[in-house]
Structure 1
């Protein structure tokens, strides 16, 4: 029998005068209900709150990853829940699985995205003006030719991240932007089409190499760089909103005859009268307190109490997933990575618990970096490991065999990163949680009530897992999951790579080259100290990436979830349901057909699309467009600058 939701136990109130028989009947019903609940509900040792399942009036469209300017997050209106009839376990679960609907919606989203492709310069400029409310920047014609010569797919939506990142800087004086970028300790300087740096930091050298490939098309500028894994700038939402009000007020398209089409030249000694503002870098955690100041004042994250004790088993809640899920599965990937409506994520991600390094400021200045949280204010570049194409992040030239020759398994290897894990906080780290809940022994121990999960929870009945109903979720997980740590990253470090506080739950597993991982069909991708540098390599492989993250990257607007990859919630509670959908299940009393063809289709589509829009050439095209826009915002004549060659 399917259990649609846990029973709510209500303690009976004080006896009425109606007599003892009624009281006994009521108590008997409650007792029977309680015993029925124990018999059929999945065991869960953490506080798992399951939301009421609702059926939307229509399936929500999967967005093309547009980035809002930190609006308040409001859950969509939902109708009353529909009651589902009980049925035997041997009956097929549903004519249409929620993932089927999400895949179909993704196909439509992708088709609509491709319809926006620009084939010539004039149509690209028209699409720009329609979407941005300004003339394109000077040099737009040279940029379009560069993109066209390099075989780019030209869709204006692909560059949304640039305008999300640069928007607030329209509220900052250009002279301040120039001076603070020039004065920053690690930067790239471009003068007279030559890019250089005084920094030997390896990330700077990689970014310099990327910039030098397009320097002949770039005006003078200085580019401040973040040398840390973690993002560093978080302004309060109230301040960013004021900057964005200025940006919106300055959107205009002056007559073509008045447009300035040349950038200003810069000297090596910026205006001495412009002062560099103190950044007042702060170093404290939990980082949640810093990160959430960028959320709307009325958001759940801003209103939630800030946790400081992470020594206990975290409260894994599904209550905050409704805005970004459909029947338990991620339907809005952008929103799923936004923690402003998910206050429970403060105890479920190492970045929020105790990052490896922290140095944050509330002062807005133009710093560039490889990734950031939704509330950070850095300007995104392609991450250094993407441009460098290092084998441990890309797999090298080997992208995997054909789908039919792969093992029907999940593979994950990694270091126990995510921050500084200690005996007092490791239970809040995302990688520890994922490895534990994909460990056959730990899951079986939870099913048998012989082991209490330390940092994870059993899936709720919302997913109606056949293996769980047959009490063999652990055994089934062991049939396909191969996950483990290659280094436990203890703090403080211990001899021989051991870790006394996690020893009862984890062992070091032999490493595996990424190229060898491509022999498996399914590749989960979990955040580390910041974003995962393996994501592009996974997308360009012949395997299927399953992605969970709270970080943003340069390419997000180019990828459609459920078309090019499988999105996963940051609590990972949907992972078993995802795997049952693709792998199927065969037990003693039930057989569920898998969807191997659908998995292959997403894997193939993801690789084909990555080979079109995530190439090194696409990074050059993105960065060239970004730096032209950046140079305009940092120019004193920015309000009149643009390219209007198509209008003259």
Structure 2
């Protein structure tokens, strides 16, 4: 408790009378004090009156606490943030692999240590399955357990006879827990909620009865879903290997890509003022426990809460208004809110501006700051609610569930309560989503027919795509005869470009008018070949000046080839370059299809004016590029696994967590990208330097001030400025390590292992006697 300081009296025979001199001083300062008070009141009114849900005039989408290194001018490639993060990622992942359990007893002890309880019945069979199939990360299921944890709090209703008072722990009467800490009646309550949620539109059921699988879809009152249970069928396939070993259970599966479950903050009991405690992830589950609504039903046949559920918003709400209620009451998102469109968004969105156009020194802080992981781990929409305008899932047309219902979905954004399962795109094989899919033989080949060799590693010379012969008819699918080839060496070589193609999906239209700010739209506008503004690229090479040699090779870093541990020690230098020049040199980003064009402000005409559109490409066409940009759509990106399978490098930006999120390591298996995308230019600069055509345009006419002679003699070829001495080799290494990960940890059998573990936990949660479904160890 803070003690207010006592007022000091004036020393006087009559202490309550202020001396005249002091009174004169008061009159002298009173106008100034009044002005100060008015100014403070104005500031408070403005701050309170400005809805936190709307961006201020300094709006930015740099929404993750990116690494904050020293000023780049003090760094070299050996101290570059990317160099450090790559090494830390390698050590972190290797340590994770090394600590995995080697025997069943070790796995049981690790499970008990992590989750504070014994494994479910059937854990030994799962271990046999995992061991037989060489599953590597046998202990890493924390995200799965976090997804399931809230359901351990379900206790059901005594009034319905789910359990008797005598079943309770006598030392904790009234707790609703048995002697072993399990929630009494929880299995019945779990099954009740599964039955209720199955009646919701776009929720399908995978059912196990007597060891046999089936998919069913309960009548949705005439609602037609055009996705036809694709995700439910995918889960059915994954469960097929071990369904005979499982009891009769039901799995409600989300037919939509978007998350469906949002539980408000007031339904959680937070342990401790800071929301943290030392509990394990098992019963009660860590720092938060779900508070069940214990109001009894009138009868067992009472109309359940979802019986009149409408599948879409119908103008009576939206995802963001529901989602922000998951935030703490004192958070910015809860203090005030507005869903009204702000003109500031279009005018100040960084997707329209290059970093150097923003106030202050943000050209350094944003374009030279690198995300250590994806935005799911770092972005806080509760603290920065204006950022929700940049993510389309907050504008989904599909209504969310406002209570804890068990729904299986392929991805989960922060604040949602869906339970993650592997995507059917990853598990199945299709021409659009599967690397190496041979339509003729209906098999997956180890090397896709459109795959292109990496080409010459250009550590010292930099990369010059002008040496490549490009056949525009090459599509990596029907026409694979003429991949890119170096005209000098004759070798096949990937193009040193950042490539992306996709449709204009990314969010719904509830409320309307925000499509321009969705993730894909922002990326396409930023990478436009006519974009305005400048970007600072930081690579260790001086800008031409009087003391620089006039020979073209002055732009080259000569010497013996560098190996991965050897990093150049030259200080980084800023090269201020028009963003349009960079985009033309190494960005190939475009839409191929205008979906829901009416949602875009101004309709199809404005959509096509604001964004680059190109022809559709096959999946195989992607493999001719070194960098593959991977962006969220309506939810997660279904192409990520295929990108990992290739010899190219995924640059992934996402706000979603997937089933494999704790199995994969950013900066080792792929390159993470913040939701602002602004650092992508310096990522390219680190690995690939500054392309020759950019150098030619920026420095081609440079002259020596001392002699007035051109820096580059007429007729000489202007070389590229290379990135890190081993940048291209490092980039190729990420591609190779990512491919190794896909072939050893991201296999179909690894997905089956995950689903098997999920099914065992699910069976225990659904059991009438959860203790009986617990392994005796």
Cα shift readout 1:51-74 (whole Å, capped 9, x = no counterpart): 9xxxxxxxxxxxxxxxxxxxxx99
Q: Counterpart in 1 of 2:669? A: 564
Would you say 1:406 and 2:494 are equivalent positions? Answer: yes
Cα shift readout 1:40-98 (whole Å, capped 9, x = no counterpart): xxxxxx846699xxxxxxxxxxxxxxxxxxxxx9989x9xx9985978xxxx8565211
Q: Secondary structure at the match of 1:499?
A: helix
After superposition, where does 1:352-363 map in structure 2 within 5 Å? 352=394, 354-355=395-396, 357-363=397-403
Task: Tell whether the 8 Å contact from 1:307 to 1:346 is kept in structure 2 after alignment.
Answer: no
Task: Tell whether the 8 Å contact from 1:98 to 1:327 is kept in structure 2 after alignment.
Answer: no
Q: Counterpart in 1 of 2:255? A: 227
Q: Secondary structure at the match of 1:309?
A: coil
Relative distance call for 1:99 and 1:275 in structure 2 (3 A) is farther
- Aligned counterpart in structure 2 of residue 278 of structure 1, from 305, 310, 334: 305
| 1:524 positional shift | 0.8
Q: Counterpart in 2 of 1:239? A: 267
Q: Counterpart in 2 of 1:532? A: 637
Cα shift readout 1:324-349 (whole Å, capped 9, x = no counterpart): 99961112434235534443321212
Would you say 1:611 and 2:743 are equivalent positions? Answer: yes
Would you say 1:484 and 2:568 are equivalent positions? Answer: no
Question: How far apart in 1 are the matches of 2:680 and 2:346?
Answer: 20
Calculate the TM-score normalised by the size of structure 1.
0.74
Question: How far apart in 2 are the matches of 1:412 and 1:575?
Answer: 13
Q: Counterpart in 2 of 1:331? A: 372
- Aligned counterpart in structure 1 of residue 113 of structure 2, from 113, 118, 130: 130
Q: Counterpart in 2 of 1:344? A: 386
Task: Tell whether the 8 Å contact from 1:138 to 1:643 is kept in structure 2 after alignment.
Answer: yes
Question: How far apart in 1 are the matches of 2:389 and 2:420?
Answer: 26
Relative distance call for 1:606 and 1:188 in structure 2 (3 A) is same
Question: How far apart in 1 are the matches of 2:428 and 2:190?
Answer: 29
Q: Counterpart in 2 of 1:382? A: 422
Would you say 1:174 and 2:210 are equivalent positions? Answer: no
Task: Tell whether the 8 Å contact from 1:328 to 1:462 is kept in structure 2 after alignment.
Answer: no
- Aligned counterpart in structure 2 of residue 160 of structure 1, from 127, 136, 142: 142
| 1:519 positional shift | 1.4
| 1:302 positional shift | 3.7
Task: Tell whether the 8 Å contact from 2:153 to 2:283 is kept in structure 1 after alignment.
Answer: no
Cα shift readout 1:521-566 (whole Å, capped 9, x = no counterpart): 1011111011111111111211101111111211111011101111
Question: How far apart in 2 are the matches of 1:250 and 1:431?
Answer: 36
- Aligned counterpart in structure 2 of residue 596 of structure 1, from 703, 712, 728: 728
Q: Counterpart in 1 of 2:94? A: 111
Question: How far apart in 1 are the matches of 2:340 and 2:617?
Answer: 36
Task: Tell whether the 8 Å contact from 1:116 to 1:155 is kept in structure 2 after alignment.
Answer: no
Relative distance call for 1:95 and 1:381 in structure 2 (3 A) is closer
| 1:491 positional shift | 3.4
Relative distance call for 1:188 and 1:546 in structure 2 (3 A) is same
Relative distance call for 1:337 and 1:540 in structure 2 (3 A) is farther
Q: Counterpart in 1 of 2:327? A: 295
Relative distance call for 1:163 and 1:251 in structure 2 (3 A) is closer
Relative distance call for 1:191 and 1:403 in structure 2 (3 A) is same
Cα shift readout 1:430-485 (whole Å, capped 9, x = no counterpart): 1111011112212xx345xxxxxxxxxx6799999999844333212211111111
Relative distance call for 1:297 and 1:614 in structure 2 (3 A) is farther
Question: How far apart in 2 are the matches of 1:581 and 1:212?
Answer: 46
Would you say 1:549 and 2:531 are equivalent positions? Answer: no
Q: Secondary structure at the match of 2:741?
A: helix
Relative distance call for 1:556 and 1:74 in structure 2 (3 A) is closer
Question: How far apart in 2 are the matches of 1:82 and 1:612?
Answer: 34
After superposition, where does 1:199-218 map in structure 2 within 5 Å? 199=217, 201-218=229-246
Question: How far apart in 1 are the matches of 2:425 and 2:526?
Answer: 29
Q: Counterpart in 2 of 1:517? A: 622
| 1:420 positional shift | 3.6
Query: Which consecutive unaligned segments of at least 5 residues does structure 1 have?
Result: 1-45, 52-72, 254-271, 448-457
Calculate the TM-score normalised by the size of structure 2.
0.62
| 1:403 positional shift | 2.4
Relative distance call for 1:467 and 1:86 in structure 2 (3 A) is closer
- Aligned counterpart in structure 1 of residue 122 of structure 2, from 108, 133, 139: 139
Relative distance call for 1:639 and 1:462 in structure 2 (3 A) is farther
Question: How far apart in 2 are the matches of 1:512 and 1:383?
Answer: 23
User: In proportion to residue count, which structure has more helix?
Assistant: 1
Question: How far apart in 2 are the matches of 1:548 and 1:75?
Answer: 14
Would you say 1:582 and 2:698 are equivalent positions? Answer: no
Relative distance call for 1:233 and 1:250 in structure 2 (3 A) is closer
Q: Secondary structure at the match of 1:141?
A: helix
| 1:298 positional shift | 3.9
Would you say 1:473 and 2:579 are equivalent positions? Answer: yes
Q: Counterpart in 2 of 1:439? A: 528
Q: Secondary structure at the match of 1:153?
A: coil
| 1:576 positional shift | 1.2
Question: How far apart in 2 are the matches of 1:592 and 1:299?
Answer: 46
Relative distance call for 1:380 and 1:247 in structure 2 (3 A) is farther
Q: Counterpart in 1 of 2:212? A: 194
Task: Name the larger-Rg structure.
Answer: 2
| 1:425 positional shift | 2.4
Cα shift readout 1:381-436 (whole Å, capped 9, x = no counterpart): 11121111222012324443332232111110000110246993232111111011
Question: How far apart in 1 are the matches of 2:675 and 2:587?
Answer: 18
Alpha-carbon RMSD across the aligned residues, in angstroms, is 3.9
Relative distance call for 1:425 and 1:462 in structure 2 (3 A) is farther
- Aligned counterpart in structure 2 of residue 366 of structure 1, from 392, 401, 406: 406
Task: Tell whether the 8 Å contact from 1:371 to 1:551 is kept in structure 2 after alignment.
Answer: yes
